[in-house]
Structure 1
Amino acid sequence: MRYAIVTETYPPEVNGVALTVQGLEQGLRNRGHLVSVVRPRQDGDAAPNGDLLVRGASLPRYPGLKFGLPATRKLMQLWKESTPDAIYVATEGPLGWSALRAARRCGIPAATGFHTRFDEYMRDYGAAFLQKSALRWMRRFHNSAQATLVPTRELAEFLQSHGFERVVRLARAVDIGQFGPGRRDDALRSQWGLGQDGLAAIYVGRIAAEKNLLLAVAAFRELQRSRPDARFIWVGDGPMRESLARANPDFIFCGVQRGDDLARHFASGDLFLFPSHSETFGNVTLEAMASGVATVAFNYGAAREHLRDGAHGAAVDSDAGFIAATVELGRQDALRQAMGAAACASVQSLQPEQVAADFDELLSGLVDTRNRHAPAAVA
């Protein structure tokens, strides 16, 4: 099969959407398919054979990230010359809209991915009055495709209840070859000022308002009352990093980490704090679990799908619950370590190869459906 993937974020950009898209792309390639990627050009970028790089513009409040500018005519020309059997559109920006429009005119079946709760972002950035408008905008976008892929049953039910059509769950995976307790690094912990018995609370992700990070700060400060030896490790970058560092000089900011370095940072932590309310999934939850780190997160997304409350950490429903769980697990070393081991064991079956096979089956199913309907349309 020949597939095309359209996305407005892609590595070396570091975020859940970019890394998920790259994983899906590689999974299809590993299954023997031809895959082309359409995305905005990044600094110093050169397109591999078959890929298309388009013009982009900087995303407000997201330094280093871009959105693709409209490119309907260019995509139609490309896809008429080399027609993919199906396309996957990962983002709802101008480039994503162009891709759906071009696919419709060229008769190419399309699936979309619901990766970001932009309606929730409206609230986090002080524009809650736009939440309903954002949801309508996303519904129109996704309903123009033949399938909308979501990572959890919870999100599928939410979207269906709000008028989204043809919603299909595609599970997420975690690379257990990369993330695991064996990556724990005592030398790295020493750099953090911690020994074997010290406590490293860790956050991994974008350091931005939509991640609800002040709650993690409050939870850690409460934990410090009983564990003054605790350190808070921050992995990532974003617009809030400077203000957080200025207000909390004892926090340790490690910047963006990738690959094996990211795995070392995860496994060298003792308690993963993930206070976000606005994730569609939260890949970092699975990565923390695979690393053998007990996790405190809100009971939705990856936590609801995979994290058993009281067995792998805590899946909470309120800010007060988040703080209480952070303090309880931070105090109890043996319980926390047992939870981390159980969490690691629980995700061993979440293999990327299975996700790639499911993704392949879904896209090929769209092709089969188009082919069955084509003779009837001609008649």
Structure 2
Amino acid sequence: MRVLLAHERYLPDSGGGGEVLAHRRALHLRARGIEVQVICAGDPALGDHEGVPTRRLPLRRRALPFGLPAFIEAARSADLVHAFTYHAMLPAFVAARLTGRPLVCEYMALFGRAWSVMRSEPVALGYRAVERLLVALPAQGRIFLSEDSLALARGKPGDRVVLAPPGVDPAFFEEASPEPKGDFVLFAGKFEARKGVAELLAVARACPHIRFVAVGWGGDIAALRAAAPENLTVHESRGDRYRRLLRQARIFFFPSHAETFGIVVAEAMASGCAVIGTTGQGAEGVRVEAGDAAGMVAAVQRLWDDRDLCLALGARNRERARAYDWERSGDVVLGLYRTLLAHRLPYPEAPR
């Protein structure tokens, strides 16, 4: 079996968790004896990554549709095309259709109404329209990362629609036990409006007696530090410091406005944190509504005042996080491939 993975960029070029997930998919397939090639935008000089053959088109991500001839050429040498949202999905669809290859679409980013938080309203409407177009593409197989994203796309599991949540790096479980929990609330993620940075600032200001720590990347970090109250410390990091802070934090705070799957939430669970957040994922703690700063303040104060409860929730989260396994996730994807190739199902009609 030969599989073409189409993503807008690929490691070591990275803007978030999407590139990590795409690479994990590639590594799993190669470990199962599947021939894999990645096509993406980026600097051709970066070459392959960790042995995964990678063709990088010298284009900006948003210009990937202009690389359609390269997508068609790559699709001809594959048995199946697997495309990830956003910018690589449309040229991958056209290339798969023209070459008669089955297409699998994996939705790593579906933000819906949250685009209005991230962009001005006219631009947000455009992005939402593009999302609806990508969800409506008549692909033969679809992969969703969570029940929330599946519901947003108004889908339901079946032979050609599967749930394949990402896994947690085993390194988060390697310690015999998590470090003793410190007294602070941790936020981790990209410093942008969609992740709830405004809510983080509001909640920290409303709880001056509680220490908050934020670790992340992107955005205007200098402006965030300038706006932060005295009880909020902001770090720019994604490496060892991030892992250490997760092990030490008693509460993980994730006020994101939209997620297909919050990998940092699963990692916080594996690190023994109680979770206050807007995503589900089976986390023990308090689920809050996106944008509800008052509800977030109440949740933080409730858990902060009950240290024993936090520790108990964190211990249960550590066990629940073991359900997020990269091998299991990859096997679900491979099972979908085999179903499609065995039956050679025709392209379905596009939904109206």
- Does the alignment reach a TM-score above 0.5? yes
1:204 is aligned to 188
Query: Given the alignment of the two structures, is residue 355 of structure 1 paired with residue 329 of structure 2, yes or no?
Result: yes
Cα offset, 1:32, TM superposition: 1.7
* Alpha-carbon contact 1:118-1:134 (below 8 Å) kept: no
Cα offset, 1:159, TM superposition: 1.3
Would the alpha carbon gap of residues 198 and 99 (structure 1) be closer, same or farther in structure 2, given more than 3 Å must change? closer
Q: Distance in 2 between matches of 1:272 and 1:182?
A: 21
* Alpha-carbon contact 1:5-1:88 (below 8 Å) kept: yes
Q: Matched residue of 1:236: which SS?
A: strand
The amino acid of 2:282's aligned partner reads H
Equivalence map 1:332-343=2 (5 Å): 332-343=306-317
* Alpha-carbon contact 1:174-1:351 (below 8 Å) kept: yes
Q: Distance in 2 between matches of 1:87 and 1:58?
A: 18
2:38 is aligned to 37
Query: Given the alignment of the two structures, is residue 214 of structure 1 paired with residue 191 of structure 2, yes or no?
Result: no
Structure 1 length-normalised TM: 0.80
Cα offset, 1:43, TM superposition: 8.1
1:88 is aligned to 82
1:103 is aligned to 96
1:377 is aligned to none
Equivalence map 1:240-279=2 (5 Å): 240-248=220-228, 250=230, 251-258=232-239, 260-279=240-259
Would the alpha carbon gap of residues 43 and 373 (structure 1) be closer, same or farther in structure 2, given more than 3 Å must change? closer
Q: State how many pairs are aligned.
A: 338
* Alpha-carbon contact 1:184-1:267 (below 8 Å) kept: yes
Query: Given the alignment of the two structures, is residue 70 of structure 1 paired with residue 46 of structure 2, yes or no?
Result: no
Would the alpha carbon gap of residues 373 and 58 (structure 1) be closer, same or farther in structure 2, given more than 3 Å must change? closer
Structure 2: 5+ residue stretches without partners: 348-352
Q: Distance in 2 between matches of 1:282 and 1:358?
A: 19
1:313 is aligned to 285
Would the alpha carbon gap of residues 42 and 224 (structure 1) be closer, same or farther in structure 2, given more than 3 Å must change? farther
Would the alpha carbon gap of residues 144 and 313 (structure 1) be closer, same or farther in structure 2, given more than 3 Å must change? same
The amino acid of 1:328's aligned partner reads R
Would the alpha carbon gap of residues 199 and 323 (structure 1) be closer, same or farther in structure 2, given more than 3 Å must change? same
Q: Matched residue of 2:236: which SS?
A: coil
Q: Distance in 2 between matches of 1:125 and 1:158?
A: 18
Equivalence map 1:5-154=2 (5 Å): 5-12=5-12, 13-42=14-43, 44-47=45-48, 50-57=53-60, 68=64, 70-80=66-76, 83-93=77-87, 95-129=88-122, 131=124, 133-142=126-135, 143-154=137-148
Q: Distance in 2 between matches of 1:49 and 1:348?
A: 27
* Alpha-carbon contact 2:213-2:233 (below 8 Å) kept: yes
The amino acid of 1:241's aligned partner reads I
Would the alpha carbon gap of residues 184 and 233 (structure 1) be closer, same or farther in structure 2, given more than 3 Å must change? farther
2:269 is aligned to 289
Cα offset, 1:257, TM superposition: 1.7
Q: Distance in 2 between matches of 1:369 and 1:46?
A: 35
Structure 1: 5+ residue stretches without partners: 60-66, 186-195, 375-379
Q: Distance in 2 between matches of 1:89 and 1:118?
A: 18
Would the alpha carbon gap of residues 304 and 141 (structure 1) be closer, same or farther in structure 2, given more than 3 Å must change? same
* Alpha-carbon contact 1:180-1:291 (below 8 Å) kept: no
* Alpha-carbon contact 1:273-1:297 (below 8 Å) kept: yes
* Alpha-carbon contact 2:167-2:329 (below 8 Å) kept: yes
Q: Distance in 1 between matches of 2:181 and 2:108?
A: 38
Instruction: Provide the alpha-carbon RMSD of the alignment.
Output: 2.8
2:350 is aligned to none
2:218 is aligned to 238
Cα offset, 1:269, TM superposition: 1.7
Q: Distance in 2 between matches of 1:32 and 1:5?
A: 15
The amino acid of 2:254's aligned partner reads F
Would the alpha carbon gap of residues 54 and 183 (structure 1) be closer, same or farther in structure 2, given more than 3 Å must change? farther
Q: Matched residue of 2:171: which SS?
A: coil
The amino acid of 1:286's aligned partner reads A
Q: Distance in 2 between matches of 1:238 and 1:6?
A: 24
Q: Matched residue of 1:347: which SS?
A: helix
Q: Distance in 1 between matches of 2:102 and 2:219?
A: 38
Would the alpha carbon gap of residues 184 and 21 (structure 1) be closer, same or farther in structure 2, given more than 3 Å must change? same
2:339 is aligned to 365
Which has the larger displacement, 240-249 or 97-106?
A: 240-249
Cα offset, 1:179, TM superposition: 4.8
Q: Distance in 2 between matches of 1:16 and 1:233?
A: 21
